[in-house]
């Protein structure tokens, strides 16, 4: 009896391998396609959003540009007014300084005039006093002359005393007059 | 190619695709969506705004503080009239020179804008040519006192009424310290080249920050000016016995 030859089962034939490979490839492609579509959709949405955002920014920029132009005009106007106001302020402060100085000078002149008036009043008073003293001197001397004409009727000692009094009065008047003349000398 | 190799290649392709897609988004190749446009982009408080040109010279009435604190003093003496300058150190106190208020029957004080200020008591220092005049009316402005005496070369500004005329601001610099040639002050005095005239006596001498550094009291033969230094003024003000009531005529 011969032994039957051993038969080994062949390896499982890769009957389905090409199909599975194609299937995997298809899945990969499908995934890539989906990913590409997703990326494309995202890019489209992004583009649309950026376009919209850009348009809004541009609109806002135009608005601000107009506002800037308007503000620049207002600023130019305000600057001109400010410059004019500064000039006016400068003129006003200079005028105030002038007026303050004029007032001060007038005050000085007023005080100086008052002092001069006081001085003149004092001089006039002194002149009146001197004139009065000189008048008394003259009257005294006239009286003395009268007494001397009738010297026999008076005591000699009384006449001498009266003469001394008149001389003293006249000397005082003379000194006062000298002082006044000295004061009046320029 | 074997099926194993194909499978491996497929997986690698899938992983690569996923990696590529992920990295495109993750690494920033794909642009992000824009932020919503804000309704208002104007900042609420503009920062670092500097004043317009010339704005620093403005004050409530167009006069700067240096001018507002100076006063003109008219000394109505018993026999003659003289004028001098002074400056405020607080709401009701003026500083001037002793010789400005000497032999006075009446003191008349006016401000930069011509307002008359009613004067109260006057006191003079014994050891310096300084006087303190108290006022009943408030004074418009007063400066700070500097911290120390100035050094040679420091700028000096003198504000006063030279020759009893208009309010005048002159500038110069400190030359040196020197002994008082008039012997009117104890200690040394400051010599500056800021122009002064008779009538400037009592003017405030200020540094470049507008702070008081001295009090003008004399002019030299070579047209320089002499100042009572700040330190002397501070010493006198700190000493209760330094000032005594002024004697009128």
Nearest C-alpha in A relative to B114: A100
Nearest C-alpha in A relative to B68: A97
Distance from CA of B235 to the nearest CA of A (A): 33
Q: Report pLDDT digits (tens) over B66-78.
A: 999 999 999 999 8
| Two tokens, residue A163 | 């003469």
Per-residue DSSP letter, B181: T
Distance from CA of A153 to the nearest CA of B (A): 54
The whole-angstrom separation of Cα B127 and Cα B189 is 13
Distance from CA of B112 to the nearest CA of A (A): 7
**If pLDDT is split at 50, 70 and 90, which confidence band does A2 have?**
very low
Nearest C-alpha in B relative to A97: B113
| Geometric angle at alpha carbon A173, from A167 and A176, rounded to 5° | 140
The yes-or-no verdict on residue A4 having pLDDT over 50 is no
Q: How many CB pairs under 8 A join A and B?
A: 115
The whole-angstrom separation of Cα B177 and Cα B198 is 21
The yes-or-no verdict on residue B175 having pLDDT over 90 is yes
Q: Which residues from chain A sit within 8 angstroms of residue B74, using beta carbons? A: 104, 107-108, 111
Given B25, B81, B112, which is nearest A111 (Cβ)? B81
Asked whether the beta carbons of B158 and B102 are under 8 A apart, the reply is no
pLDDT at A184: 85
Q: What is the mean pLDDT of chain B?
A: 87
pLDDT at B187: 84
Asked whether the beta carbons of B97 and B202 are under 8 A apart, the reply is yes
Q: Which residues from chain B sit within 8 angstroms of residue A110, using beta carbons? A: none
Find the distance separating the first CA and the last CA of chain B, reported in whole Å.
132
| pTM exceeds cut of 0.90 | no
Q: What is the mean pLDDT of chain A?
A: 88
Interface test with B, best of A66, A100, A110, A120 (most B CBs within 10 A): A100
Q: Which residues from chain A sit within 8 angstroms of residue B80, using beta carbons? A: 115
Q: How far is CA B8 from CA A34, A66, B23, B212, in A?
A: 21, 64, 22, 93
Distance from CA of B103 to the nearest CA of A (A): 15
**If pLDDT is split at 50, 70 and 90, which confidence band does B189 have?**
very high
Q: How far is CA B84 from CA A98, B120, B196, B227, in A?
A: 18, 17, 12, 15
Asked whether the beta carbons of B178 and B189 are under 8 A apart, the reply is yes
Q: Report pLDDT digits (tens) over A145-173.
A: 999 998 889 898 999 999 999 999 999 99
| Two tokens, residue B46 | 């503009």
Q: Which residues from chain B sit within 8 angstroms of residue A98, using beta carbons? A: 166
Question: Does residue B60 belong to the interface with chain A, where contact is any CB pair within 8 Å?
Answer: no
For residues A125-130, average pLDDT? 93
Between A2 and A170, the more confident residue is A170
**ipTM of this complex prediction, to 2 decimal places:** 0.79
- DSSP string computed for A81-103: HHHHHHHHHHHHHHHHHHHHHHH
Nearest to B6 by CA among A34, A32, A28, A12: A28
pLDDT at B58: 58
Between B249 and A16, the more confident residue is B249
User: What per-residue string of b and e applies to B157-179 under the rule 16 or more CB within 10 Å gives b?
Assistant: bbbbbbebebbbebebebbebee
Q: How far is CA A104 from CA A95, B60, B164, B168, in A?
A: 14, 23, 8, 14
């Amino acid at each position: 009896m011969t032994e039957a030859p051993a038969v080994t089962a062949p390896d499982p034939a890769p009957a389905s391998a090409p199909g599975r490979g194609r299937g995997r490839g298809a899945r990969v492609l499908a995934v890539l396609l989906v990913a590409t579509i997703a990326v494309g959709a995202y890019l489209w949405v992004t583009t649309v959003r950026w376009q919209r955002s850009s348009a809004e920014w541009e609109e806002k920029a135009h608005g601000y540009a107009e506002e800037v132009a308007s503000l620049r005009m207002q600023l130019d106007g305000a600057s001109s007014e400010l410059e004019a106001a500064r000039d006016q302020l400068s003129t006003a402060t200079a005028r105030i300084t002038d007026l303050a100085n004029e007032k001060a000078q007038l005050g000085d002149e007023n005080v100086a005039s008052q002092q001069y008036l006081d001085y003149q009043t004092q001089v006039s008073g002194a002149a009146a006093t001197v004139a009065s003293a000189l008048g008394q001197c003259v009257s005294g001397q006239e009286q003395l002359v009268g007494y001397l004409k009738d010297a026999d009727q008076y005591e000699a000692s009384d006449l001498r005393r009266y003469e001394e009094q008149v001389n003293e009065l006249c000397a005082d008047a003379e000194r006062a007059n000298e002082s006044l003349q000295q004061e009046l000398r320029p | 190619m074997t099926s194993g190799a194909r499978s491996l290649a497929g997986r690698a392709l899938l992983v690569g695709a996923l990696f590529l897609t992920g990295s495109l988004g993750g690494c920033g190749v794909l642009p992000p969506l824009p932020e919503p446009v804000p309704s208002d982009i104007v900042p609420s408080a503009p920062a670092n705004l500097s004043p317009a040109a010339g704005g620093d010279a403005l004050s409530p009435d167009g006069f700067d503080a240096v001018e507002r604190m100076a006063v003109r003093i008219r000394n109505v003496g018993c026999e003659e009239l003289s004028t001098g300058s002074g400056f405020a150190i607080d709401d009701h106190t003026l500083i001037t020179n002793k010789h400005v208020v000497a032999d006075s029957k009446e003191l008349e004080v006016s401000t930069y804008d011509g307002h008359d200020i009613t004067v109260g008591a006057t006191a003079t220092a014994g050891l310096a040519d300084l006087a303190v005049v108290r006022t009943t009316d408030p004074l418009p402005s007063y400066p700070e006192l500097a911290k120390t005496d100035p050094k040679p070369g420091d700028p000096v500004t003198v504000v006063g009424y030279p020759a009893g005329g208009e309010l005048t601001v002159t500038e110069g610099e400190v030359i040196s310290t020197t002994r008082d040639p008039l012997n009117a002050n104890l200690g040394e005095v400051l010599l500056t080249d800021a122009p002064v005239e008779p009538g400037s006596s009592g003017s405030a001498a200020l540094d470049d920050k507008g702070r008081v550094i001295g009090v003008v009291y004399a002019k030299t033969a070579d047209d320089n000016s002499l100042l009572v230094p700040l330190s002397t003024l501070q010493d006198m003000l700190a000493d209760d016995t330094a000032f005594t009531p002024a004697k009128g005529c």
